[in-house]
Structure 1
Amino acid sequence: MKMTMMLCHEAQPSLLQIPTGGMNLSMLRCRPQKEKVVVVMGATGTGKSRLSIDLAASYPAEIINSDKMQVYEGLDIVTNKITDEECDGVPHHLLGIVDPEADFTARNFVSTASITMKSIVGRGKLPIIAGGSNSFIEALIDDQNYEFRSRYEVCFLWVDVAMPVLHRFVSDRVDRMVDAGIVEEVRKMYNPNADYSKGIRRAIGVPEFDAYFRSEYSSSFDKKTQAKLLEEAINETKINTCKLACRQLEKIHRLRNVKGWKIHRLDATAVFQKKGGREADKSWAEMVAGPGSMIVNQFMYNFSHSRSFATAADGGGRAIKRGAAMAAAVL
């Protein structure tokens, strides 16, 4: 898609007022500014989707999913895909678009996300990239041809939760997924000859149930044994999700401390400790959505930009109003 050329709308001082001396007047010409992109990072379950939608309430924005499992079609419970209701009318891209049997690589993400960003910018909107697959984000930001950095200026937001608190939340979330029907969802696509190293079957919550489903196909397993295998599958899903969160956190620290990415940390630990309700929503607005909106607002307006975006001053207040709708998925 052909990108719109950026223009400078700021009023320029008269050249008669500038002591030019030997200055090259061509230097006074207005140079195009880079387009803005916001990236929301964090371990699984920390509230990345919630923050991205809060931000989209303050700016004309569209969200690009960067979770490597949520790009696949199907298994909405397993992959914790955001629902239409939770999207709150904000357009989402790269969500449930890939055949579950296919392999969607980091290279695929870079090419698809790049096209999507150009399209969003072309509509005069802010691209917000949100997801836990830091390998996808790193491949996009630091591509070999330096295309992203030469075209875009990026603001990184990191929603962080203390690991002991997050691990308890993840365990409870898996129990809620079981109540929501995760076992039946995985059963529908179970194949005893499936390759768990490809496609959506790599998602945590799929290979863990293999032994349990095999027991259902065998007459040598009694109900008691099957119940034990089911319990083991659920516990293994919890353990592996916690391990994933630790790996994701390690990658964020590497990007921040080794590669030098300027990543703004937003501590949501107190929100999760409140375990939902109005107090948790208020804490989210005060500690995450509000500060996040202020950071993005400063990022958007400290430099001249070709497009006019709505103010983010009310980001925290809007987050409170919409907190109940997102709480079901986040808290």
Structure 2
Amino acid sequence: MTISMVLCNPSTQPMINVPCNGPKLINAKHKEKVVLVMGATGTGKSRLSIDLGTCFPSEIINSDKIQAYQGLEIATNKVTKEEQRGVPHHLLGIHNPYTEFTANDFCDMASVATESIIGREQLPIIVGGSNSYVEALVERFGSRYEWLILWLDVSMPILHSYVSKRVEDMVEKGMVNELRPFFSPNGDYSKGIRKAIGVPEFDMFFRSEEETTWDDERTKQRLFDEAIREVKLNTCRLACKQFERIQRLRNVKRWKMQRVCASRVFEMHGNDDEAADEAWRKMVAEPSARLVAQFLYNEAINNVSGGISVPGSCSVSCRVVKC
């Protein structure tokens, strides 16, 4: 028996023909299997997890602590229902934005979701950028499962350029108006969704907006531009911190990761989007799906359409730079 998996477009040729011994993903003689997708902010983790979710009978568990809160869909870059492409998502936009969503909360809810997904004979795919929460989950419950960890990596100079452009896109989509209801002169930016990048950075802009009549357009524009610069800078700083934590998990805690380098894909963004999408398929989606298929079915995958780049073989150096 073979299971044919197709990414995105059902009319395309099967990406991989996977030999297996039966329809179930889980072999009762072994530990249940879980896929974990890691990477810095902006590297395409959600996109990859949904690509995989359309290939395999699976459900996605969000591990981004800020995306777990209700609200700020644009500022936190939550995947929309349309972008989810029918793949069930858990722990996404479910928590009260004004109360803390702790690592313990995440571990408890993610564990319940994982067991529920496995009970439906589906593959749990955990994805998000809150690596401290993922680390806590693996330390508490990791021994129950067999893990495949995919590390989606993009070189920091390329990623910084991309996330800066993404901030500008968010502004065009209405991020500022989305942030405004969460402003409070006495707001605590250390709790709840107010920790999200964008809320504290726009504090001075919104504060001055309430206190003045905006007769001085230059002041208004200056405060706006400063807020945008801070959002971009803090997003880049977050990416650096996430990269460093992944390196610690890999090199100090000895987590076994499969590195998939997407730098060349991101270099194409904005120049030739069609070519970038094709590069994503060949350099990121197909190799990742092949790794998942091998992980699930313990068989060599020989029939693969299109080019395959081995994770870690990207010629563009993926390194962190000082923000």
Superposed pair shares fold, TM > 0.5: yes
Q: Paired residue for 1:241?
A: 235
Q: How does 1:259-270 map to 2 (within 5 A)?
A: 259-270=253-264
Q: Secondary structure at the match of 1:57?
A: helix
Structure 1, unaligned runs of 5 or more: 1-8, 12-29, 304-310, 318-331
The letter for the 1-side match of 2:284 is: V
Aligned match of 2:59: 62
Paired residues of 1:117 and 1:127 also in contact (CA < 8 A): yes
Deviations for 1:17-45, whole angstroms, at most 9, x for unmatched residues? xxxxxxxxxxxxx9831000000000001
Correspondent of 1:296 among 288, 292, 297: 292
| SS across alignment from 1:36 | strand
Q: Counterpart in 2 of 1:320?
A: none
Partner of 1:126: 123
Contact 2:182 2:194 in 1 (8 A): no
Deviation at 1:223, TM superposition (A): 2.2
Q: Spell out the pairing of 1:1-331 with structure 2 (5 A cutoff).
A: 32-143=29-140, 147-149=141-143, 151-219=144-212, 222-275=216-269, 277-302=273-298
Residue 313 and residue 100 in structure 1: after superposition, are their counterparts in 2 closer, same or farther (change >3 A)? Answer: farther
SS at structure 2 position matched to 1:157: strand
Residues 86-137 of structure 1, C-alpha deviations (whole Å, 9 max, x = no match): 0000000000000000100111100000000000000000000000110011
Relative distance call for 1:190 and 1:31 in structure 2 (3 A) is: closer
Name the CA distance, whole Å, in 1 between partners of 2:232 and 2:28.
52
Q: How has the CA–CA distance of structure 1 residues 104 and 312 changed in structure 2, closer, same or farther, with 3 Å as cutoff?
A: farther
Query: CA 1:262 to 1:102, structure 2 compared with 1: closer, same or farther past 3 Å?
Result: same
Q: CA deviation at 1:10?
A: 7.5
Deviation at 1:219, TM superposition (A): 2.6
Percent identity of equivalent pairs: 56
Residues of 1 paired with 2:86 and 2:62: CA distance?
15
Compared CA separation, residues 80 and 312, structure 1 to 2 (3 A): farther
Say if 2:34 and 2:147, in contact at 8 Å, map to a contact too. Answer: yes
> In the alignment, which residue of structure 2 is the partner of 1:324?
none
Which has more helix, going by share of residues?
1
Q: CA deviation at 1:148?
A: 2.8
- Please state whether the residue corresponding to 1:54 is helix, strand or coil: helix
Retained in 2: the 8 A contact 1:289–1:316?
A: no
- CA deviation string 1:48-73 (max 9, x = no partner): 01110111122100000000100000
| Amino acid of the structure 1 residue aligned with 2:33 | K
Q: CA deviation at 1:258?
A: 0.5
SS where residue 217 of structure 1 aligns?
helix
Letter in 1 for 2:279: S
CA RMSD in angstroms comes to: 2.2
Question: TM-score, normalising length from structure 2?
Answer: 0.83
TM-score, with structure 1 as normaliser: 0.81
Distance of 2:50 and 2:213 partners within structure 1: 50
Q: Give the superposition deviation at 1:282.
A: 1.1
Alignment partners' CA distance in 1, 2:125 and 2:305: 15
TM-superposed deviation, 1:173:
0.3
The AA in structure 1 aligned to 2:201 is: E
Show structure 2 runs of 5+ residues with no match: 1-19, 308-323
Q: Distance in 2 between matches of 1:220 and 1:105?
A: 40
